[in-house]
Amino acid sequence: MSDDSTSGNLSLWSSTSTFLPDNSSFNSSLPPSFDDWETPTFTAAARVRVAATMVLFVFAAFSNLSVLVSVLWGRGRRLAPHLRPLIASLASADLVMTFVVMPLDAAWNVTVQWYAGDAMCKLLCFLKLFAMHSSAFILVVVSLDRHHAILHPFDALDAEHRNKRMLVAAWILSLLLASPQLFIFRAIKAKGVEFTQCVTHGSFPKRWHETVYNMFHFVTLYVVPLLVMSFCYTHILIEISRQMHKDKGGEPCLRRSGTDTIPKARMKTLKMTIVIVASFVVCWTPYYILGIWYWFQPAMLRKTPEYVHNALFVFGNLNTCCDPLIYGFYTPSFRADLADVVACCRRSQNTSPQSLDHLVRQKARASGEAESDNPSGDQTS
């Protein structure tokens, strides 16, 4: 099999025009050449990629839907009002990634070529880039919220409205930045062979135009969010350090909760968001580094084993699964909601008369007990 055919399914990474393209000659802005070209096939590496992607799909769908249900209807409603939209939006963005990017990637790897027509080519490539932008931008909004909460703690009354405005801006900006995909992608049938692909061929007069387009989205998807998040958390850590030194030096320091300079609930939320941002950086950095390498040295695509590209893409999608895990680790209410679901499933499996009588007796005892203790909720700032 030739090098071109070995790199057959790599355009499935692409959320911009050619992050890592299917075939460098076919997906380029230059006229394609089929003198030494073989139709791509569903390789062993692609099969492993599809299997791994579907495992992540099942886990990400269940976990992010659970987070969304918990925040909207479960115990997660006890979160601070300005935090609920942030967590719900983050779960929603992960669900867009889960239900758009993952199934599309898996199906496209299996079919190798594009069968869904020109309209779906444009729409799905738009949705892929929209999903990636929305996920990154909502992390930026979360970071800005934490920055404001720590550095300007007395502005908390306006936090809910401020966060809603930033979330609306994040979703709208994601739509606008993804919209060029509707115009540059198209389904093209190769001349001389029975092969159709969803590509950017013919949309850019010069190859460097396409590189500029890709670099622009690299900046908006990764560089700008990373810089904003780094700025926010650096300032937060500096402020925490300053307050700790103030406290130790015996200087007057405003306190908001008991003996803590910064409330424990707020610190817990800060730790959670830092870990979420770190998972985004760890999961997606290798993918973007490989993309930059390709843009400036396209020949590397033939030298790098296919399983390397596939592994880095799957690793990037792992971020969609990390967010609900991190949220669950730091949020007892979410774990309690999951425990209720598991208990409900067990009860539904055991429907014998004896077990039903036992459940009735348990509920009767529970209803007769006085609830004197307040629940240990997750009311965080």
* The predicted structure's pLDDT at residue 1: 37
Q: Which domains does the chain have, with CATH numbers?
A: 3-249+257-335 (1.20.1070.10)
Q: By the 8 A CB rule, do 74 and 341 touch?
A: no
Please give the full DSSP string across 85-148, using - where no structure is assigned: HHHHHHHHHHHHIIIIIHHHHHHHHHH-S--SHHHHHHHHHHHHHHHHHHHHHHHHHHHHHHHH
The tens-digit pLDDT sequence of the chain (381 residues) is 333 333 333 333 343 333 444 333 333 333 344 445 566 778 888 899 999 999 999 999 998 998 888 888 877 677 777 788 888 998 999 999 899 889 988 998 888 888 888 999 999 999 999 999 998 999 999 889 888 888 887 666 677 888 899 999 999 999 999 999 999 999 888 777 778 888 888 788 888 888 889 889 999 999 999 999 889 888 888 888 787 776 665 554 444 444 445 666 667 777 888 888 888 888 888 888 887 887 777 777 677 788 888 888 888 888 888 888 887 777 777 677 777 766 766 766 665 555 545 544 554 454 443 333 333 344 455
- Report CA-CA distances (Å) from 39 to 1, 4, 107, 185, 186: 10, 9, 17, 20, 19
CB 101 within 8 A of CB 134: no
pTM for this prediction: 0.75
pLDDT of residue 354: 53
Helix (H, G, I), strand (E, B) or coil at 74: coil
Triad 269, 274, 276: Cα angle to 5°: 95
